[in-house]
Structure 1
Amino acid sequence: MKRIINLSLGLLLFAVLSIWQTKADVRLATIFSDNMVLQQQSEVAVWGWARPNTNISVSGSWNKKSYSAKSDATGYWKVKIQTPAASYTPYTLTVSDGKAVGLKNILIGEVWLCSGQSNMEMPMKGYNNQPVEGGPDAIAYSQNKGIRCFTVKQVSTTIPQDDCEGTWDIAGPETTPNFTATGYFFGRLLNNALDVPVGLIHCSWGGSRIEAWMTPLSLKDIPGKEIPQTEADIKIPSQDPTVLYNGMLHPLIGFGIRGAIWYQGESNREEPIIYVKKFERMVHEWRNLWGLGEFPFYYCQIAPYNYGDRINSAYIREAQAKGMEITNTGMAVLMDADSPDCIHPPKKKEAGERLALWALANTYGMKKIHYRSPEVKSFETEGRVAVITFDYTGINGLTSYGKEIKNFMIAGANKHFYPAKAALTSDKVYLFSPYVSQPIAVRYCFDDTSATEIFTVEGNLPLSSFRTDNW
């Protein structure tokens, strides 16, 4: 009987130790997993959890150098490791607290965060009855070990999360259909032009407002909806302030990235003035949280669409254009989206590739690429004629492709706008209306749905909607 009791106690002790040992194994944050892409030539952070006050070692097969850290009282640990130049060579990463955990098929390249609302979320396979133009062909030819995407599971919460759910997927016909379309076309062009692996971290939620991606601190002096304090306070999971920052972005902060791309604004179109402040706050906040300096932040201006209400979306497009006053930002203009009756334009290739042009020119130094849409440089009058001069027109200037330009309006002192006849030259447009004897203001495509008619010859980049007045 004594031997049976001792044997039982021994088995119980063995079982307890086995369970304890299983729980004690070092664990990495989910974004550190097989098939991931790490930012090249950087000190990238790697973090996770283990037993409290435990020594952790991390080593990559590219240099076999060991980096060490010690977990804190809660078991959290973090270490920075040096990465080499970009390569298609698959590497491994080993993390150990005495018992090793290994990650395989890791590439070193360029990593970009992709965030926003439904036009960033829209997958390559499209939405119901809303296709991505060229999507089927792009998917069929997408097999590429050098393009990988980590999609963050959507979580809305009042408590900042330490971890998220998601997997790193390698581009191919079976996986690419679920990739963010804007992000994929952005990454594909970078991959082709730079010939390096590209990692996309996709973190978006359809219908989200910008304040959902911000912290309470950055919103403290900005009027708006009250920040929810409990889960029961969350009324709209994709829109309430801070809830997506907490659930989706917070677990990613510190992961090595080159920069971010952003496609959002439709859900904030009723507040163009305050959006300028929110956008600036968010960009500065993300940069401060990542601690990587003023990393590039490129974004899409929303496309023309018939919202069917009295809110003129040209004002939010104007507000978005002001975002380029922030250091190291750039805006892709989508005024040729040709989708006035669908809020999700099918031309995601143009959206992604125009963002990529900004990155290639400004981030990667390919200065001869024409990457920026034309912008108003000056407004003058010559008698009854209004003259707009444009900047960023490229070497060969502007074109309307031989089509009549119909979307200019001019006004005099009475502030009544009339359609104007337009004559386009290389970098100027001359405007005239028989109803305006002395023009003092010009507007172009300044409504919900009007599409641009003017493009740069070099780059085929569209002119944005604009106004010269502040009425």
Structure 2
Amino acid sequence: MKNLKQIFIAIAMLLTSFQINAKFKLPALFSDNMMLQQKSDAPIWGWAEKNSNIVIKTSWDSKTYKLKADNSGKWKTELQTPSFGGPFTIEVSEGTEKVVIKNVLIGEVWLCSGQSNMEMPLKGFPGQPVRNGNEIILRSSNKNIRLITVPRAAVLEPKDDFEGKWEEASPKTTANFSSTAWYFGLLLQEVLQVPVGLIHVSYGGSSMEAWMNQEMLKDFASAKIPTTKEDLAKDPNRVPTTLFNGMLSPVIGYGIKGCIWYQGESNYERASEYTALMQKMVSSWRAMWKQGDFPFYFCQIAPFNYASFHPKDYLEKYNSAYLREAQFKAFKEIPNAGMAVLMDVGEENNIHPTDKEKGGNRLAFQALSKTYGVEGFEFESPKFKAMEIKDNSVTVSFDDVPNGITSYGKEVTGFEIAGEDKVFYPAKAEVRRKSVVLTSDKVMKPVAVRYLWKDFAKAELFSNGGLPMSSFRTDEW
């Protein structure tokens, strides 16, 4: 009987110890193999007994940080990080409880978010491969690239953590990681020769509104905020606020250099709102991160036959050229932003282009030039500058063509011109070094120009650096 009593006491003590230990916890973001942003005050936080003393020791500078948890047990502070390097350790303790985070690198950290074309892993989706994905996976071992993915979660209330961990890049880990984000990070790491950390937070089929909270959406009457689980029964990834709550909320505030974004396909029917939504989302994310106007680089959606989604009731507003235009307008309005044009990778009957390398690389071009100051290469696609009308011809000129434009010797058939009757006709195009001259025997007095203004079209004009020109129009009809 005495032995039985001692066993019960031992079990009670063990359970008490476990309960105390359960309160001392670090989020998934702070795990072995993690990456911290270099030369920054990198936030770190966690949970412990309320009002308890927390001690943090960092091996890169042998510094000790002492702080207290608040009345709810939450604690947070900032770690001063040096230039890139590692591996290091971070020791976090509360009384006799201690966690040692091992194999920590310091380098460049980027948030990677969006919908399925950001989510699409290097191994591809079932029946939808990524071009050269298998070979890229095989060659992906790189201790200087660290990856973490936030799992899918659409919920009503903001979460503060998730199930996941940082991992070193290897075939085992990259196969399931975002292909767009991988190509972006790989090129950054190769060119900058510093460690790169990628935080992947995306969900296929998601709307932009799902990545925004109620406060961000208060001026958008079309955004219906969910209040019950029944509201999430169908397409929870398209319900406003759900992915902000379930996936973005746990990573807000982690020290990053910037964000890459690939989304828009699920908003193509509502292009008129997209520019304002994107402006609001980006400005709000930046305010929440409290890092100023961090870089925000995004992919313009690739051409695709969206009309196939509306075989019986297709309307002109469903033409995804309007969404591409809305994204271009957002790029012009959002400070410290950049847009990767993908007119040359779209596939008519596949909304997930197999070529993910171009998107990832072009996002990296934006970062390497605008954020890291690398010079000597082209990073911007050609953009419409002006049109000059003379008699029955229109000369269209372009910006961001330092070494001219090219059609690679192929005939250019994607231009249309219209007169005052607003009827567009195919135009004959004469490509010059930095401009195009357009004519049509059906338009004697042209007033407007459109280029590849279709759901699906293949790029025809490029910069000499191989960057495609976006679809565009000069009218607002």
TM-score, normalisation: structure 1: 0.96
1:466 paired with 2:465, answer no
Of 94-103 and 413-422, the range deviating more from structure 2: 94-103
1:17 CA drift (Å) = 3.2
Picking from 383, 386, 394, the partner of 2:391 is 383
Say if 2:129 and 2:354, in contact at 8 Å, map to a contact too.
Answer: yes
Q: What do residues 391-423 of structure 1 show as CA deviations (whole Å, max 9, x unaligned)?
A: 0012x2100000000000000010000000001
1:74 CA drift (Å) = 1.7
- Following TM superposition, the consecutive aligned residue runs of length 4 or more in structure 1 with deviations greater than 3 angstroms are 7-15
Picking from 150, 165, 188, the partner of 1:167 is 165
The 3-state SS of whatever aligns with 1:271 is helix
Say if 2:51 and 2:70, in contact at 8 Å, map to a contact too.
Answer: yes
Matching of residues 205-244 of structure 1 within 5 Å: 205-234=203-232, 235-244=234-243
Of 15-24 and 320-329, the range deviating more from structure 2: 15-24
1:141 CA drift (Å) = 1.0
Matching of residues 345-424 of structure 1 within 5 Å: 345-394=353-402, 396-424=403-431
The one-letter code of the counterpart of 2:12 is V
1:338 CA drift (Å) = 4.1
Of 14-23 and 285-294, the range deviating more from structure 2: 14-23
Q: Distance in 2 between matches of 1:302 and 1:284?
A: 21
Tell me the matched-pair count.
Answer: 464
Q: Distance in 1 between matches of 2:12 and 2:81?
A: 40
Q: Distance in 2 between matches of 1:185 and 1:15?
A: 51
Picking from 332, 340, 344, the partner of 1:332 is 340
The 3-state SS of whatever aligns with 1:222 is coil
1:165 CA drift (Å) = 1.5
The 3-state SS of whatever aligns with 2:365 is helix
Query: Which consecutive unaligned segments of at least 5 residues does structure 2 have?
Result: none
1:23 CA drift (Å) = 2.5
The 3-state SS of whatever aligns with 1:103 is strand
Q: Which residue number in structure 2 is paired with residue 428 of structure 1? A: 435
Q: Which residue number in structure 2 is paired with residue 314 of structure 1? A: 321
Query: Which consecutive unaligned segments of at least 5 residues does structure 1 have?
Result: none
Q: Distance in 2 between matches of 1:177 and 1:10?
A: 51
1:304 CA drift (Å) = 0.5
1:113 CA drift (Å) = 0.5
1:58 CA drift (Å) = 1.2
1:147 CA drift (Å) = 1.1
Q: Which residue number in structure 2 is paired with residue 127 of structure 1? A: 125
Q: Distance in 2 between matches of 1:19 and 1:80?
A: 33
Aligned-residue CA RMSD in angstroms? 1.2
Say if 2:115 and 2:203, in contact at 8 Å, map to a contact too.
Answer: yes
Q: Distance in 2 between matches of 1:338 and 1:316?
A: 15
Picking from 101, 110, 116, the partner of 1:112 is 110
Q: What do residues 286-331 of structure 1 show as CA deviations (whole Å, max 9, x unaligned)?
A: 0000000000000000000011232100000000001112100000
Q: What do residues 151-191 of structure 1 show as CA deviations (whole Å, max 9, x unaligned)?
A: 10111101000111112121112221111000000000000
Of 270-279 and 401-410, the range deviating more from structure 2: 270-279
Q: Distance in 2 between matches of 1:233 and 1:272?
A: 24
Q: Which residue number in structure 2 is paired with residue 254 of structure 1? A: 253
Q: Which residue number in structure 2 is paired with residue 91 of structure 1? A: 88
Say if 1:405 and 1:453, in contact at 8 Å, map to a contact too.
Answer: yes
The one-letter code of the counterpart of 2:38 is Q
Q: Distance in 1 between matches of 2:272 and 2:67?
A: 46
Q: Which residue number in structure 2 is paired with residue 296 of structure 1? A: 295
**12 and 52 in structure 1: CA distance in 2 versus 1, 3 angstrom threshold:** farther
The 3-state SS of whatever aligns with 2:413 is coil
Q: Which residue number in structure 1 is paired with residue 352 of structure 2? A: 344
Q: Which residue number in structure 1 is paired with residue 455 of structure 2? A: 448
The 3-state SS of whatever aligns with 1:269 is helix
Say if 1:361 and 1:368, in contact at 8 Å, map to a contact too.
Answer: no
Say if 2:107 and 2:197, in contact at 8 Å, map to a contact too.
Answer: yes
Say if 1:287 and 1:293, in contact at 8 Å, map to a contact too.
Answer: yes
Q: Distance in 2 between matches of 1:174 and 1:29?
A: 23
Picking from 69, 72, 96, the partner of 2:67 is 69
Of 168-177 and 108-117, the range deviating more from structure 2: 168-177
Q: Distance in 2 between matches of 1:206 and 1:137?
A: 24
The 3-state SS of whatever aligns with 2:256 is coil
1:17 paired with 2:13, answer yes
